[in-house]
Amino acid sequence: MGVASNLRVCPFIRVNEIKIPIASSFSGFLVGMAISGLGFGVYAAVDLALVVDVLHDKRNAAKDLGVFNIAGALPFSLAPAIAPAILAIGSGSYGVLYMVAGLCAIIGAFAILPVKRVR
């Protein structure tokens, strides 16, 4: 497992985040959300395995995994605070909100490119 595995899964999730706002029915929205959720679950499993593989000091693994957990949970805390501003700028369009979320996720995917290899 490595960076390449994460980059293969991540576009799968992003395509669904672009597809969800243009769904023409509630059923299409639910299907898009289900596929996106499945993709995120796969991504999270691969990402956690990658993090454990690149830990430098096994004695501090709990602290490092705690930082990883904060990094994963922080967006869920910040997004509700930022979403109203994005909705206001986008004239209340949830499509715009999903596009911004997809863009943030793509930027996040590129942030792991400096990880060259795992041990």
How confident is the model over 38-72, as pLDDT tens digits? 877 888 888 888 888 888 788 888 888 888 889 88
Return the pLDDT at 5. 47
In a domain, 119, yes or no: no
Tally of domains within the chain: 1
In a domain, 83, yes or no: yes
In a domain, 118, yes or no: no
Query: What are the C-alpha distances in Å from 100 to residues 49, 63, 104?
Result: 28, 31, 6
In a domain, 14, yes or no: yes
List b or e across 38-77, with b for residues whose CB sees 16 or more CB atoms inside 10 angstroms. Answer: ebbebbeebbeebbeeebeeeeeeeebeeeeeeeeeeeee
Q: What is the pTM of this model?
A: 0.52
In a domain, 94, yes or no: yes
In a domain, 104, yes or no: yes
In a domain, 116, yes or no: no
Domain that holds residue 9: 3-111
